[in-house]
Chains A and B, each alone.
Chain A
Amino acid sequence: MTTWTNLTAMAKIEVVVDGDDVPAVRDLFLDAGATGYTAVSGVSGFGHHGHHQGKLLFNDRASLSMLITVVPIDRAEALIAGIRRFLDGCHGVLFVSETHVSRPDYFG
């Protein structure tokens, strides 16, 4: 494994969900102590539920969105548990990976 000098290891959590479910995932992030997140709307692709259309002209809710947050590793487990529980009731996928950041104070 590569060792990064002067960078801090953290957990990167990426969630792809329906546009309608974005607020709930956002609230899960914030309730678990995430200090910020990035949302990418109009995500297109192909997966378990077939084709997903990307950006639609007049409907921001119908396409998929990706939400990304980075949290300290000790806070990740609870957040992952919450998101897994949420995804039990809807479509969506969760990716978790280790990442390294230069400004750990930005992420809690």
Chain B
Amino acid sequence: MTVSSPPIDRSVLVADVARAGAFVAPYWPLTSFVAVNPLGGLVEHSFSEAAALAARWFGARTHLALEDYRREYDRGTIGRAELDRAISRHLPWVADALAIDVGRVSVDVIDLVRWDLLHGPVTDAKVTPDAPLADALDAVLTTWCATFVDDAHVPWAMPGRSLGLYRSWRALAAGDRRLAALVGADGRGRIATLPDDPVEMLDLALRSRRVSEADRVAAIRTLLLRTPGWAGFARWCDDWAPADREGVRLRMVDLAAVRAALDHLAPAHLELVPVDAPAESITARVDAAVAAFALATPSGVDRGAIEAVLGNVTSADRSAIWLSAHEWALRDRLLTRLDGPAGAGHASPQARADAQLVFCIDVRSEGFRRHLEGLGNYETFGFAGFFGVPVRWRQLGSETSQARCPVLVSPRHEVAEVAVDDAAAYLSTCSATAGLHDAFYAAKGGIASPFALAESAGWFAGPVAAVRTLVPGRAATSATEPKWWRRFTSAPRTAPVVDETAAHERHVGLSLEERTLFAEAIVTTIGMYEFAPLVVLCGHGSRTTNNPHASSLDCGACGGAPGGASARIAVAILNDSEVRAGLAERGIEIPADTWFVAAEHDTTADVVTIFDREVIPTAARALVDALQLDLDVAGERNAHDRARRLPGNPDRVRDRGHDWAQVRPEWGLAGNGAFIIGPRSITADHDLEGRAFLHSYVAERDPDGVALETIMTAPLVVAQWISAQYYFSTVDPEVFGAGDKMLHNPVGGVGVVVGQSGDLAVGLPMQSVMLGDQRAHDPLRLLAIVQAPLERIEGIILRNSGLRQLVEGEWIHVVARETEHDAWTLRTPSGGWEPWHPADPDPDPATPLLTPLEIS
């Protein structure tokens, strides 16, 4: 085959599409929901610069509205001391500014700025541009996108999908009546003349609009950001999707080409290159200040002086100051609490703990760990919930595998689950159930078949629906199943095959060297060098019903899947005698009487299930039984705590996951605000109210800093994505969040749209961060609290550019101290460290960390 040389312009245009697409945050399909920073494409800019760009490009709000911050001030969440500190740090010139003469008295500039923040007119109202034709064309595009990607329940696939969105759309677009109505007969007639190639289509559209080469990236970005949800999914397909993923790929170049084609056909065109916003008017704020101070003083006010001050405090400055004040409030409370006396007086483990439990760093583990530690001689640790073993997991009976690790890692190994018992009956039931499931949804999605389906399956589906609605807890329990049925549905005993020599398949299992390396990483990263007779690796997941966003409640470190499989894999490695011998050669002695056990915490029901009990040695069974009782009690207590922040019957809080009408099965990671890296001793006995990710780390055990570097370049980065997703989903639920869950419709097997159609709704549903008009999440940037030598932390920041961007761009804040005897110090964005002092010199350590919710 002869391939002609590509023209230079084409390659340059393809590069422009890649550059434009880099500004779009990837959107993972809902089957493996991954929290991302929606402004992740802008992290090379500082947070404030990125916020300004997002406001301009997305038309988005990037901070709470001024009224919301003021409400927090009124309720005491933000104090005057924090506000004044934020003013003085954000506007250092205020300290040196001369007081303003207002007649016989003068007003300090900080008083004027504070007054403006607290009482000045609101000038940051969000404005949505009115562009009906462009919006209608966006709607045409989103409908085609949904049709193109739908490989879930569609009875007829879109013809020509393998050619890509642009080519398949071009072949069918002339039949689109809605498009014809928008572009007229002339536009419709020109569809056939459009180039066949998406790059050529883009080139044509941009040339016909006379977009200069310098403006092309901006123009393509404008096209993509008309539908940021689908653009995010296209970014995922281009840059993150597994190479072996089945199904069609929505590519950014195709998406941009179709939107460019729609614009090209339309009688009126988009403004492809954004123009600068007009300068902000401060007249209303100056008028209000003049009036306020004129009332407060007997003589005239120097309007010019007030104008000079407020002219240097833009709307963006006001938002930034409020955000900073809000962050100071949490930082001061949290550090004061960590420095303060212990709380509930939980017993510290005796010389050798009865059991050690390693939980995920997820904020939902904090409360559970605290309750459990208070019940016995237990020691708990925090580690990313994939337990340091990045693999693909192939479940029993499945032919495909899924990555069970953070998306930052590309797993190179697969681990398969195999049956220990005879699994024939179970597997045939699974196969039949899957067949019925497919047949049911194929019938449901057809044109005439739903009528037949209602007739044929209604007798069964009707009563099931009634039970699910009236007694949701009962519908979910296997205790209601007849014994004969359980014979077919009970899963057989299984085991993960971690040893490649036992797997008998290529690329399945791990070598002894790899297993030993992962085992070493697990224990050294969290500083575990003494071992209890029982060590439990406890992953987490969430069982919910009728919830398209279910995987958002699962383990982010496991790629949006439950963490039980990862725990079982890690346990199989750590119980392996050959691995232990290898560890001993590396100086890590695991006692012969130590047994590792896998478990999973259902965060909606607060139930911990211990796996593979049948292989637990007799000597450890009594410990396991005693631990299970304490896990049950800890679950009850944790659920009791959670019930205080959830509406509805507090006695049924553990059943919410079974209720298919429940839009808020749990709060997930709402409230997350800090990431603490250090030994448990600095956080034990303190109720952190579920606000902190807790990663165990013992600096003395990590002299070369390898473990800290691993923590700061992977779990901390993932936590920042989660934090940013919660932040932006809260400040602008319409743009960065998934909107109202009540209106969601799943689309294409990849996401949801709000209502009948529209752009893919990214981010978290409103019900994940809001309770009515109350916020369940305080939108703050993540605070990393590290106990380690400052030089070690600084070195890691400086040699990892991505981390450095996060720190110096103020996407996260870092506070550190070398030991428990040292004072906390703050990493400044410009480099260097400064001592931390609370803004309020006499803070009350009992002040809640989490803003209370009023539950009716």
Q: Determine if B710 is an interface residue (Cβ-Cβ < 8 Å).
A: yes
User: Across the interface, do B6 and A62 meet the contact criterion of CB distance under 8 Å?
Assistant: no
User: Across the interface, do A59 and B717 meet the contact criterion of CB distance under 8 Å?
Assistant: yes
Q: Which of B11, B715, B717 has the most CB of A within 10 A?
A: B11
User: Across the interface, do B11 and A81 meet the contact criterion of CB distance under 8 Å?
Assistant: yes
> Which 7 A-B pairs give the minimum distances between C-beta atoms?
A82-B11, A58-B714, A24-B18, A85-B15, A86-B15, A23-B239, A89-B19
Chain A contacts for B5, CB-based, 8 A: 33, 74-75, 77-78
Taken together as a complex, chains A and B put the C-alpha atoms of A12 and B217 apart, in Å, by: 28
* Chain B residue nearest in CB terms to A44: B799
* A58 and B6 contact, Cβ closer than 8 Å, known pairs A83-B15, A86-B19, A89-B22: no
Taken together as a complex, chains A and B put the C-alpha atoms of A28 and B715 apart, in Å, by: 31
Tell me the smallest distance from the CB of A43 to a CB of chain B, in Å: 13
Chain A contacts for B6, CB-based, 8 A: 31-33, 75, 78-79
User: Across the interface, do B521 and A57 meet the contact criterion of CB distance under 8 Å?
Assistant: yes
Q: Determine if A27 is an interface residue (Cβ-Cβ < 8 Å).
A: yes
* A58 and B409 contact, Cβ closer than 8 Å, known pairs A75-B6, A90-B22: yes
User: Across the interface, do A82 and B14 meet the contact criterion of CB distance under 8 Å?
Assistant: yes
A42-86 vs B, Cβ < 8 Å mask (1 yes, 0 no): 000000011111001111111000000000001101110111011
Find B8's partner among A21, A50, A51, A78 (CB 8 Å cutoff): A78
Q: Determine if B748 is an interface residue (Cβ-Cβ < 8 Å).
A: no
User: Across the interface, do B800 and A53 meet the contact criterion of CB distance under 8 Å?
Assistant: yes
B387-420 vs A, Cβ < 8 Å mask (1 yes, 0 no): 0101000000000000001101110000000000
Q: Determine if A108 is an interface residue (Cβ-Cβ < 8 Å).
A: yes
From 46 to 83 in chain B, residues with beta carbon under 8 angstroms from any chain A beta carbon are none
Q: Determine if B632 is an interface residue (Cβ-Cβ < 8 Å).
A: no
Tell me the smallest distance from the CB of A12 to a CB of chain B, in Å: 17
Chain A contacts for B405, CB-based, 8 A: 58
User: Across the interface, do A85 and B710 meet the contact criterion of CB distance under 8 Å?
Assistant: no
Tell me the smallest distance from the CB of A53 to a CB of chain B, in Å: 5
Taken together as a complex, chains A and B put the C-alpha atoms of A63 and B199 apart, in Å, by: 31
Chain A contacts for B410, CB-based, 8 A: 60
21 contacts between A and B (CB under 8 A): A23-B239, A24-B21, A28-B11, A28-B14, A31-B11, A31-B14, A50-B799, A50-B801, A51-B798, A56-B709, A57-B388, A58-B409, A60-B410, A62-B717, A78-B6, A78-B8, A79-B6, A81-B11, A82-B14, A85-B11, A85-B12
* Chain B residue nearest in CB terms to A80: B11
Chain A interface, number of residues (Cβ within 8 angstroms): 37
Taken together as a complex, chains A and B put the C-alpha atoms of A56 and B406 apart, in Å, by: 13
* A57 and B11 contact, Cβ closer than 8 Å, known pairs A86-B19, A108-B3: no
Which secondary structure dominates where chain B touches chain A? helix
Find B714's partner among A59, A78, A79, A83 (CB 8 Å cutoff): A59
Q: Determine if B16 is an interface residue (Cβ-Cβ < 8 Å).
A: yes
Taken together as a complex, chains A and B put the C-alpha atoms of A52 and B799 apart, in Å, by: 6
Taken together as a complex, chains A and B put the C-alpha atoms of A23 and B18 apart, in Å, by: 9
Chain B contacts for A24, CB-based, 8 A: 15, 18-19, 21-22, 238-239
Find B11's partner among A32, A74, A89, A91 (CB 8 Å cutoff): A32
Beyond the given A77-B5, A82-B14, could you list 15 further A-B residue pairs with CB under 8 A, ordered by the A residue number?
A23-B238, A24-B18, A28-B14, A31-B199, A32-B6, A51-B798, A52-B799, A53-B799, A57-B706, A62-B713, A62-B800, A77-B8, A78-B8, A90-B19, A91-B801
* Chain A residue nearest in CB terms to B213: A85
* A56 and B710 contact, Cβ closer than 8 Å, known pairs A24-B22, A75-B5: yes
Find B798's partner among A32, A50, A78 (CB 8 Å cutoff): A50
Taken together as a complex, chains A and B put the C-alpha atoms of A91 and B15 apart, in Å, by: 14
Chain A contacts for B199, CB-based, 8 A: 31
User: Across the interface, do A60 and B22 meet the contact criterion of CB distance under 8 Å?
Assistant: no
Taken together as a complex, chains A and B put the C-alpha atoms of A102 and B347 apart, in Å, by: 72
Chain B contacts for A79, CB-based, 8 A: 6, 11
User: Across the interface, do B384 and A58 meet the contact criterion of CB distance under 8 Å?
Assistant: yes
User: Across the interface, do A89 and B3 meet the contact criterion of CB distance under 8 Å?
Assistant: no
